[in-house]
Amino acid sequence: MQFFGGSDISPSPPAPTAPGNNAHMIYVFNRNGVCLLYKEWNRPLHTLNAQQDHKLMFGLLFSLKSLTAKMDPTSAEKGNLGVPQLPGQGCSFHSFRTNTYKLSFMETPSGIKIILVTHPKTGDLRDFLKYIYNLYVEYVVKNPLYTPGTPVSCELFNTALDQYVRSIA
Amino acid sequence: MAAIYNLYIINKSGGLILYKDYGSAGRMDTNDSLRVASLWHSMHAISQQLSPVLGCAGIDLLEADNFDLHCFQSLTGTKFFVVCEPGTLHMENLLKYMYELYADYVLKNPFYEMEMPIRCELFEISLSQAIQKDRVALLGR
């Protein structure tokens, strides 16, 4: 996982290769489970209220990471299920697909989790998620008025993110 | 050909009824495989809750760094899932074939108790044959 290689926001983002994929929604969590950002573009079905939805999403990811670390067929020495894993420790998943959506996931070494829910036919979105993380670093983290650990309300970040995600579609 | 590491069958309540390991370094003991199976059952159900559109049937494919997990759920709620190398093709066909074998060798076995762990030798033999034989045969299904 290359996080220390490209520290600048450009060069140009990877060209969208998957045609016709519409992003449904995006979540960004920090390491404590606080939802820093939730944005939806196309979500006809809301099963739960917002708070419960965020908690459920975070819980699902936590458990899936625990599951993949335990199920990893290439390593013999594993911890027990349910033990919180450090970012980067143990095998982690990067996406899962159902018949109605595809969820792409990326966790940074600092514990920031970026989740993008798209159409099921979408390709590998890891590079897109890295670019979104770069946007987050440039517009949010480097913003002196932003308090870490609170939901993001930076206008520029929202605009840039919106523009970028629409360009994937 | 790309490798299959292990496979699981879980009943509609999430209980493990079959766990077969085909050469992974991380072979699990019984308790761990039971826990992992129940965990997968729950994750499968939760993923349906988080769908942005109606009609979600749960996770079909989970892609991780070192493996892929393909899952097939029958109409009765029995789940068949297989852990394989990343990028292995035609796992869906294998899972469907496994379901056919299950229907023939397990369900039609008069001594098999529903939802209990599978102890049918013929089933396990034909399963190993299916896993080991050339993928070309499965392509034709």
Average per-residue pLDDT for chain A: 84
Per-position b or e across B33-57, b if 16+ CB within 10 A of its CB: bbbbbbbbbebbebbeebbbeeebe
Q: Determine what percent of chain A is predicted with pLDDT higher than 70.
A: 85
pLDDT, tens digit (0-9, with 9 covering 90-100), for A108-118: 999 999 999 99
A104 interface with B at CB cutoff 8 Å = no
The pLDDT, as a whole number, for residue B8 is 94
- pTM metric for this prediction: 0.86
Contact, B103 vs B126, CB < 8 A?
no
- Model pLDDT, residue B2: 59
Residue B134 has pLDDT above 60, yes or no: no
Section A125-131 average pLDDT: 93
* pLDDT given for residue B29 in this prediction: 86
Could you tell me the pLDDT band of residue B133, with boundaries at 50, 70 and 90?
Answer: confident
Render pLDDT for A46-92 as a digit per residue (tens, 0 to 9): 888 889 999 999 999 999 999 998 888 888 766 777 777 788 788 88
Instruction: Note whether B39 contacts A99, CB cutoff 8 Å.
Output: no
A51 touches chain B (CB under 8 A): no
Show which of residues 19-38 on chain A sit within 8 Å of chain B, judged by CB atoms: 24-25
Tell me what pLDDT residue B28 has.
83
Inspect the interface and report whether the beta carbons of B56 and A59 lie closer than 8 Å. no
Query: Is the CB of A98 less than 8 angstroms away from the CB of B83?
Result: no
Query: Are residues B99 and B24 in contact, defined by beta-carbon separation less than 8 angstroms?
Result: no
d(CA A50, CA A36): 13
Query: Does the distance separating the beta carbons of A60 and B26 come in below 8 Å?
Result: no
Interface test with B, best of A39, A63, A96 (most B CBs within 10 A): A96
Chain A residue with CA closest to B5: the answer is A73
**Alpha helix (H) residue ranges in A33-137:** 50-71, 126-136
For A14-26, the pLDDT digits (tens) are 444 443 447 899 9
pLDDT at A1 over 50: no
Res. B1: pLDDT tops 70? no
Work out the mean pLDDT of chain B and round it to a whole number: 88
Cα-based angle A54, A58, A64 (whole degrees, multiple of 5): 145
Angle, in degrees to the nearest 10, between helices B30-49 and A50-71: 150
Interface residue A78 vs chain B (CB under 8 A): yes
Do A101 and B53 count as a contact with CB atoms less than 8 A apart? yes
Instruction: Decide: B101 and B127 in contact? Cβ < 8 Å.
Output: yes
At residue B136, does pLDDT exceed 50? Answer: no
Q: What are phi and psi of B115, to 5 degrees?
A: 70, 0
Measure CA A57 to chain center.
Answer: 11
Query: Is the per-residue pLDDT at B26 higher than 90?
Result: no
User: What is the per-residue pLDDT for A74?
Assistant: 83
Q: Is pLDDT at A13 greater than 80 in this prediction?
A: no
DSSP string computed for A115-141: EEEE-TT----HHHHHHHHHHHIIIII
Q: What is the dihedral of CA B34, B35, B40, B45, to 10 degrees?
A: 100
pLDDT digits (tens, 9 = 90+) for B41-56: 999 999 998 999 999 9
A53 interaction partners in chain B (CB closer than 8 Å): 50
CB A22 within 8 A of CB A119: yes
Q: Are B5 and A73 within 8 A, CB to CB?
A: yes
Using the predicted structure, report yes or no on whether residue B80 has a pLDDT greater than 80: yes
pLDDT at A169: 61
What residues of B are in contact with residue A93 (Cβ under 8 Å)?
62-65
Contact status, residue B39 vs residue A82, Cβ threshold 8 Å: no
pLDDT at position B88 is: 87
CB spacing of B61 vs A96 below 8 angstroms: yes
Taking only Cα atoms into account, the Rg of chain B, rounded to an integer number of angstroms, comes to: 15
Percent of chain B beyond pLDDT 70? Answer: 93
